[in-house]
Chain A
Amino acid sequence: MPRPGFVLDVDRSTPPMLFWHGERFSLERLPADRSRVIYPAEPLPGLADPDAAIRQALLQPLDMEPLPSLLHAGMRLTICFDDASLSLPKMRRPDSRQRIIEAVLDMAAEAGVDDVHIIAALGLHRRMHDYELRHVLGDRIFDAFHPSGALYQHDAEDHANLVVLGETDHGEVLEINRRVAESDLVVYANVNQVAMDGGWKSLVTGVASYRCLSHHHNPESLQNTRSLMDRHHSALHHSIWRMGAVLRDSGPKVFQIESTINNDAFPSPFDFLSKREWEWTGRDRATFLATSKALDRTPRRLARRIFHSIEAPYAMTSVQAGFTETVHERTLEHVHAQHIVPVEGQTDILTMGIPFISPYNPESIMNPVLVMCMGLGYLFNMYRGRPLVREGGVVIMTHPTTKEFHPVHHPSYIDFFDEVLADTTDPAEMSQRWERKYAEDEWYRHLYRTGNAYHGVHPFYAWYWGAHGQQWAGRVIIVGGDPATVRRLGFTPASTMDDAFELASEVVGRSPTITHLHVPSVLVADVH
């Protein structure tokens, strides 16, 4: 029986805590008697037979007819799936999306459906490399659909193939992929790693245009998103759900398939990362020391390659299909069963180690903008109720934060860092002064459409993602980061954790309470 997540009060007997530091680790001792550590739950057991569970979900969907009865010869069927931003790290083959889509295709073949398109719903993310498509969908689907052009990636800048479906009562325009809009049935294959994923967000962001996304991916929405993991208190999700209603009323029939995964993020050589420090065996300690010392001496490029080659042994914990809203509510129950950790009260200082990966740098570099996005966007938002840190408190992150960018994946991030952040770090100001220029830049548009680059506007969205955390925190300190780069982000650099606590004392006093978010395994603090 896996143990649930829990909160450890740090005393003198507590060992130092593991912190991620990009492609490295460190052990940091937290002050006794005023610190606590939030540990995620242990991985829930996976489904004994995922393929049978998928088939059952398709045959007994929620609030919809069974999938075979929705399929018939002569119809236009479009299957959309989440891109490489899920899961993190990438899951061991076969990926849940492959299992789901193969099951759907088997039923479509039995029904005599000929016109099938498979679309990577990547929104404004970068196009996936062929090897990533193969990894996610498996060789069989890739070999069957890619050569003929029936497997392709959504293009948010292909205006000839975008169509407006309608407008919400808030004036938000729903503009999506034409093929999706004109299909007789759209099937969406989700991997719901966190509560933020899935629901109407899958289609309304995955196959939408920049114009459509800008209605909710903006500073105002994200500052009022409390939090990203709690859709009922998220302005972003409210907007998306309004658009979802337009899609439901004026768009194609959507058959949503959502699958959840457990917390088993690292394979055996790295499994000490998911363990509680006092439970490390002699072997774990030896592995940690060997890994840690080796990584200290490994060129960053090689270390990055090693980490991005990790394939997570995630197991599927549930799968449900049918009407999007009903399915998503059921999915959230399963996601929360794995992630929720009850926590009493807020804290003065929130500490977190920033890992090597975020949703926007699979197989790529965690650049400074993404460090902000990961820390203040994702990890800060891992709460329900109230943020873990009190308003005006301090957030301390550990990451090398070097000025390093992937020129193919993140070209607009480079200019964003040099040009926009040199001007302002305020999301609202940069939105007004700079966003349109980047969004409409022809060169970025070209790289997004034909290469493997994120859309020109994406660094803005990554920055907005942390807008709520940025607004909430009184100071943000990065331990071990390159000072000039950290200052450009508007944060304070510190060389050690003790220095960071010293710097934080200017904001929160000499005896602040400290809470450490023990990542990488995902947790959502339910703060009372």
Chain B
Amino acid sequence: MKRAELSSRLQRLIGPFERLTRLGLRPLGRRGFPYLPPPVPNGVIVPEAPDELGAEYDTDWARRPLAREARRLIARGPLRLGTVLATRPTIDGLDRLRDLAALDPAPPLIFAPNHHSHLDTLLMTSVIPRPWRDDLAVAAAADYFFNRRWKATVSALALNAIPIDREVTNRRSSDRFRELVDNGSSLLIYPEGGRSPDGWGQGFKGGAAYLAARTGADVVPVYIDGTGAIFGKGASRLRPGRTRVIFGRPMRPEEGENTRRFSDRIEQAVNRLALEANSDYWTAARTAASGASAHLHGPSASPWRRAWALTEFRSRGVAGRSERGRAWPDLGRRGN
């Protein structure tokens, strides 16, 4: 009897907690409004809420003084250290930018590298020379980096990323970039539109050329080698190794040159830098001059042949994954 009374009292005490726990554990979908959005009554048209993510995401807050300082701390500190340790970059071609760096103030530039990995952006924000590095905006794919609020916030804060549509650079984006360039910022944009799926380069879209025409800034072709092997598309973990970044000579549209032609020239310039990275300056110049400069895209063949050709192309360069120790020949056991 005494035990039954005790049990009943305990039940009364635990009861409310148990109910709350059950409620908490109940799947969200079964809770209904107000835990979920209200259902729309039939026949009622709800006005569409403005889309604040994707290409429409407003990143102005990320360029306010506080955010700028926070970014500086992040970029100069752990981000750069981690990037340099993971990628051990060799940087070439900086002499091609010295004339512009010597100007006061250094004019804004549009850096247009090839794209193999998310590391490319971290690497570029670490190796772009000082006058441009401190005020660099990164054009990031709106559908990838700005499709969730947390991703958009992190991208904008840490990288000063600006959303851009992969396929077309719309007027709003280009106005935003022009405003940035007018204020002295430089841009980092990947003309390929996305990371390489198989290690070979992709055709350039006209974004960089279009922005150059709209903003009046020179385009610097850049070739990044090795990041794909360290953390390429689809990689599950990072494998530290060596990388190489080659800066090309700044380019601007020629008199009467349209965006497509200028974009082709930028692509050729990056191709030539790729050849330079995997051979030498003179070989690259001759190959590029002979018109056989589609090396960056690889052969038009089946996937395995493309992969095969890529290993051959890579073997000529120095960038890529680090070697796993020297393989000494097996001379057998001592005394045998």
* Cβ–Cβ < 8 Å partners of A140 in chain B: 92-93, 276, 280-281
Out of B98, B249, B276, B281, name the residue touching A105 (CB < 8 Å).
Answer: B281
CB pair A112 B290 closer than 8 Å: yes
Within 8 A of A (CB), among B107-127: none
| Chain A: CB-nearest residue to B93 | A140
Give the complex CA separation of A386 and B160 in angstroms. 65
CB of A116, distance to nearest CB on chain B (Å): 7
| Chain A: CB-nearest residue to B95 | A94
Interface SS of chain A: helix
Out of A51, A94, A112, A144, name the residue touching B281 (CB < 8 Å).
Answer: A144
Contact with A along B252-284 (1 / 0, CB 8 A): 000000000000000000000000100011110
| Chain B: CB-nearest residue to A102 | B281
Give the complex CA separation of A335 and B283 in angstroms. 36
Out of A109, A141, A145, name the residue touching B286 (CB < 8 Å).
Answer: A109
Give the complex CA separation of A470 and B289 in angstroms. 56
Contact with A along B280-316 (1 / 0, CB 8 A): 1111011011100000000000000000000000000
Out of A49, A109, A143, name the residue touching B285 (CB < 8 Å).
Answer: A109
* Cβ–Cβ < 8 Å partners of A109 in chain B: 282, 285-286, 288-289
Q: Is A65 an interface residue (CB 8 A)?
A: no
Contact with A along B87-105 (1 / 0, CB 8 A): 0000011011011001000
Out of A94, A102, A108, name the residue touching B98 (CB < 8 Å).
Answer: A94
CB of B89, distance to nearest CB on chain A (Å): 15
Out of A98, A105, A143, name the residue touching B95 (CB < 8 Å).
Answer: A98
Give the complex CA separation of A109 and B289 in angstroms. 6
Out of B93, B249, B276, name the residue touching A51 (CB < 8 Å).
Answer: B249
Known A109-B289, A139-B92, A140-B276: A93·B282 in contact at CB below 8 Å: no
Contact with B along A140-159 (1 / 0, CB 8 A): 11011100000000000000
* Cβ–Cβ < 8 Å partners of A50 in chain B: 99
* Cβ–Cβ < 8 Å partners of A144 in chain B: 280-283
* Cβ–Cβ < 8 Å partners of A116 in chain B: 282
Q: Is A296 an interface residue (CB 8 A)?
A: no
Chain A CB count within 10 A is highest, among B99, B102, B276, B283, for B99
Give the complex CA separation of A98 and B249 in angstroms. 14
Give the complex CA separation of A116 and B95 in angstroms. 24
Q: Is A138 an interface residue (CB 8 A)?
A: yes
Give the complex CA separation of A111 and B289 in angstroms. 8
* Cβ–Cβ < 8 Å partners of B98 in chain A: 92-94
* Cβ–Cβ < 8 Å partners of A106 in chain B: 285, 289
Give the complex CA separation of A111 and B282 in angstroms. 13
Contact with B along A273-291 (1 / 0, CB 8 A): 0000000000000000000
Q: Is A404 an interface residue (CB 8 A)?
A: no
CB of B255, distance to nearest CB on chain A (Å): 14
Q: Is A498 an interface residue (CB 8 A)?
A: no
| Chain B: CB-nearest residue to A50 | B99
- How many A residues touch the partner, as a band? 20 to 34
* Cβ–Cβ < 8 Å partners of A11 in chain B: none
CB of B285, distance to nearest CB on chain A (Å): 4
* Cβ–Cβ < 8 Å partners of B99 in chain A: 49-51
* Cβ–Cβ < 8 Å partners of B102 in chain A: 313
CB of B24, distance to nearest CB on chain A (Å): 64
Within 8 A of B (CB), among A83-115: 92-94, 98, 102, 105-106, 108-112, 114
Give the complex CA separation of A94 and B97 in angstroms. 10
Chain B CB count within 10 A is highest, among A92, A109, A116, for A109
Known A49-B99, A94-B95: A143·B281 in contact at CB below 8 Å: yes
CB pair B289 A105 closer than 8 Å: no
CB of A81, distance to nearest CB on chain B (Å): 15
* Cβ–Cβ < 8 Å partners of B96 in chain A: 94
CB pair B282 A105 closer than 8 Å: yes
Give the complex CA separation of A116 and B286 in angstroms. 12
CB of A222, distance to nearest CB on chain B (Å): 38
Give the complex CA separation of A144 and B284 in angstroms. 9
CB of B319, distance to nearest CB on chain A (Å): 15
Give the complex CA separation of A94 and B249 in angstroms. 12
Contact with B along A379-394 (1 / 0, CB 8 A): 0000000000000000
CB of A201, distance to nearest CB on chain B (Å): 28
CB pair B280 A114 closer than 8 Å: no
CB of A374, distance to nearest CB on chain B (Å): 30
| Chain A: CB-nearest residue to B92 | A139
* Cβ–Cβ < 8 Å partners of A93 in chain B: 95, 98
CB of B107, distance to nearest CB on chain A (Å): 12
Chain A CB count within 10 A is highest, among B98, B282, B285, for B282
CB pair B289 A112 closer than 8 Å: yes
CB pair A141 B281 closer than 8 Å: yes
CB pair A143 B289 closer than 8 Å: no
Give the complex CA separation of A50 and B250 in angstroms. 13
| Chain B: CB-nearest residue to A147 | B280
Give the complex CA separation of A141 and B93 in angstroms. 12
| Chain B: CB-nearest residue to A51 | B249
Give the complex CA separation of A102 and B95 in angstroms. 12
Out of B249, B280, B286, name the residue touching A143 (CB < 8 Å).
Answer: B280
* Cβ–Cβ < 8 Å partners of B280 in chain A: 140, 143-145
CB of B260, distance to nearest CB on chain A (Å): 22
Contact with A along B219-260 (1 / 0, CB 8 A): 000000000000000000000000000000100000000000
Give the complex CA separation of A145 and B283 in angstroms. 10
Contact with B along A404-444 (1 / 0, CB 8 A): 00000000000000000000000000000000000000000
Contact with B along A71-90 (1 / 0, CB 8 A): 00000000000000000000
CB of B326, distance to nearest CB on chain A (Å): 23
Give the complex CA separation of A141 and B286 in angstroms. 13
B-contacting residues of A (Cβ < 8 Å)?
Answer: 49-51, 92-94, 98, 102, 105-106, 108-112, 114, 116, 138-141, 143-145, 313
Q: Which 10 A-B pairs have the closest CB atoms?
A: A109-B285, A144-B280, A140-B281, A144-B282, A94-B95, A144-B281, A109-B289, A110-B289, A109-B286, A93-B95
Contacts A93-B95, A109-B289, A143-B280 given; 16 further ones with Cβ under 8 A? A49-B99, A92-B98, A93-B98, A94-B98, A105-B282, A106-B289, A108-B285, A109-B285, A109-B288, A114-B286, A139-B92, A140-B280, A141-B282, A144-B281, A145-B282, A313-B102
Pick 14 A–B contacts, CB within 8 A, sort by A. A50-B99, A51-B99, A92-B98, A93-B95, A94-B95, A94-B96, A98-B95, A111-B289, A112-B290, A114-B286, A138-B95, A141-B282, A144-B281, A144-B282
